Structure 1
Amino acid sequence: MIILKDDSSTSSLKGLSPTESMILNAIEKSKIRYEYNNLKEIAFELKVRERITMNSRLLNSSAATFATFPNSSFNPYYWIKTMNGYRLRAGRRPSAAIKDVFENSYLYSFECVTTVVLIYYKSILDTIRPEYFDRLYSPMLIWGHNFNDAMYMVTYEGIDNIPGDVFYFSNPDYEDPIWMGENAVLLEKDQYFGHGIGIVTHDKMVEALNTLRKMNAVKSAFLLNQTTRLDFTELYKYS
């Protein structure tokens, strides 16, 4: 359900892409109240969510590989590997470094949490001015849950199935800790992107994780009842 505080109507939104229209439809059909100040604010969210799905697909088809931190790699022209993650080199622009992940993906290998962070950074960059992005996200350190506070990433209990949301498939009987679960971006109805697994349905994601359990495992992987997404209202201030 969408509530527009200025009493306008989403029917006034023109020129939406098919993906944006799909996302808008999902939000409108939700039982949760989503409040916006005006149409520009919801249009911004639709654009960022669209970019999240598109950048997920780009990474899926890229040469970037899955790796644990000891075996990971980032382009050394932009990044220095530290104990806590990859730190952007002095004098390098965050916007250029994030673009490089997608343009020279063969130089990168990382795990699924880092994948989500990179997708978020790229999707924000695609929707705000590069100079704003560089100001917001400098200095920059990336790996796992290490990211700039201005990312405005939030996680809450419950699932609403809006494309661009990120979900977690837990794998309690994992063999290798790197496969204790998979962070996955919802691209469209029952289509998830998880780095290292690919674009699959809910059932196929569970099936893939179940092949990565310890011997004699009895607990199946499952979709955790939580959602991670960007705080679009905060990010809109920089649009």
Structure 2
Amino acid sequence: MQFEAILRSKIVEASRDMNKGGSRFATFRTSFCNEKYWHLTNDGGFLLRSGVAPAEAIRDIFLNGRKYGFECATAIIILLYKGVLDTIGESEFNRLFPGLLLYSWNSDSDLGITQDDIESYYARPGDVLYFKNPEVNPEKMEWQGENVIKVEDNLYFGHGIGIKPAQGIIAALNRQRRQGATQSAYLLDQVIYPDYQYLSQFASSDIRPYETAQKPSGLSFPGTISARIGSQRYIKRNRIRA
């Protein structure tokens, strides 16, 4: 499906750009932003200023990265917005997301964040995954896990860690464990992505994969049974024998 493939590639491209763009990892308490475009909220979020175009403000994070510091969940939402912007264009993006607030997993409903509880093996470039650090140092709770974008096979971008293979992400988290810890960080079996079907209707007609009203939402995986509850989709994978 052409739209999904393009959006995935744009999310990966945005991840590479953020990695070299100069933005810093920061906790919510120490977050900062370019206040020409954003209000810094008391909780450490970035609220779009009145009169500022959403597309312009999102692009500024990549153009003037040194003026920004945020944690890894906020980074993921920024990357998804940037991927969508670069896929559907500025006009549609501004219409869909007029009142942006960048704060942790907070996101506009039009982004359609969806979680599939499946083995991470099924993740594809552009998907969001999570490395969990179960025995984190309680004085460094910001390292209790790392939200990442899959860039390619066994290569992930995590804000504050960079682009590394799975073992590199795990090693970085393990350095932030409590004294005497024995359990390693690990990659969680869940995959998160935007609602490709819904968003495709706002793209130019040449990259729309299908008439959105005619197709079910979500991705398909071989040998699975799925059910949706609210915004989440839960999947049971049937074992496939060779």
Q: Report what 2:83 is aligned to.
A: 123
Name the SS of the counterpart of 1:126 in structure 2: helix
Q: Report what 2:117 is aligned to.
A: 157
Q: Say whether 1:74 aligns with 2:33.
A: yes
1:229 to 171, 193, 200: 193
Aligned partner letter, 1:235? L
Q: Distance in 1 between matches of 2:151 and 2:163?
A: 9
- The structural deviation recorded for 1:219 is 1.5
- The structural deviation recorded for 1:180 is 0.5
- The structural deviation recorded for 1:161 is 2.3
Q: Distance in 2 between matches of 1:182 and 1:119?
A: 15
> Where does structure 1 lack aligned partners over 5 or more consecutive residues?
1-41
Q: Say whether 1:168 aligns with 2:130.
A: yes
* Aligned pairs (5 A) from 1:1-239: 42-84=1-43, 85-158=45-118, 159=120, 160-175=122-137, 176-239=140-203
Aligned length: 198
Q: Give me the identity figure in percent.
A: 38
Q: Distance in 2 between matches of 1:229 and 1:147?
A: 12
- The structural deviation recorded for 1:117 is 0.5
- The structural deviation recorded for 1:147 is 1.7
Q: Distance in 2 between matches of 1:229 and 1:204?
A: 23
Q: Distance in 1 between matches of 2:145 and 2:40?
A: 24
- Superposed CA RMSD in Å reads 0.9
Name the SS of the counterpart of 1:51 in structure 2: helix
Deviations 1:107-147 (A, max 9, x none): 01111111111111111000113121111111111110122
> Where does structure 2 lack aligned partners over 5 or more consecutive residues?
204-242
The runs of at least 4 aligned residues of structure 1 exceeding 2 Å deviation read none
TM-score (norm 2): 0.80
Aligned partner letter, 1:225? D
Name the SS of the counterpart of 1:127 in structure 2: helix
